[in-house]
Amino acid sequence: MNAYEEIGRRLQKAREESGMSQEELAKRLGCSQASLSYYELGKRRIYFNELEKISKILNRPFTYFLESNEKPKKDQNDLYHILKEPYLKEILLSAKTLKPEQRKSILEYIQWQHSKVRRSK
C-alpha cells in the first residue's frame, strides 16, 4: 500500500466514524465529492493544507492521517519508541516553540544531567 492509499484509508475511516458522508465533508472542504473519493482511494495527491482542514473538521490530530500501519522496528532508539517514552513527546513539542538558543540551553542541561549520572557511578 502506498502512502496516499494509507492516508486515504485513514481519511475514510475518520469520516465514517464521525458519521459524515463524502458529500458533506467535500462541501465543508470546498471540493467535489469525486475529489474526496479520489483522496480516500489514494488516487489523488492530498496536500498538507487540505489534510489540515480535514483534521480540524473531523476532529482528529493532523498526525492521525500520517501514522503508518507498519510494525515498529525493534531498535529502541528509533523515533517511534522514543516518542512512546514518558514525557519525551511533550518535551519535544514544548521545545518546538522555543528559539534555537533556548533549545541549545535545554540540550546543555540534559547533557549536564547525563554527566552527573556518570560521575555518581
- CATH number for the domain spanning 10: value is 1.10.260.40
- Indicate whether 102 belongs to any domain: yes
What secondary structure does DSSP assign to the chain, as a single string? --HHHHHHHHHHHHHHHTT--HHHHHHHHTS-HHHHHHHHHT-S---HHHHHHHHHHTT--GGGGT---SPPPS-TTSHHHHHHSTTHHHHHHHHHTS-HHHHHHHHHHHHHHHHHHHHH-
Q: What is the pLDDT of residue 38?
A: 94
Q: What is the pLDDT of residue 3?
A: 85
Domain range spanning residue 87?
Answer: 79-120
Q: What is the pLDDT of residue 53?
A: 94
Listed as ranges, residues in the chain with pLDDT below 50 are 72
Q: What is the pLDDT of residue 77?
A: 65
**Are both 60 and 17 inside the same structural domain?**
yes
**Are both 9 and 56 inside the same structural domain?**
yes
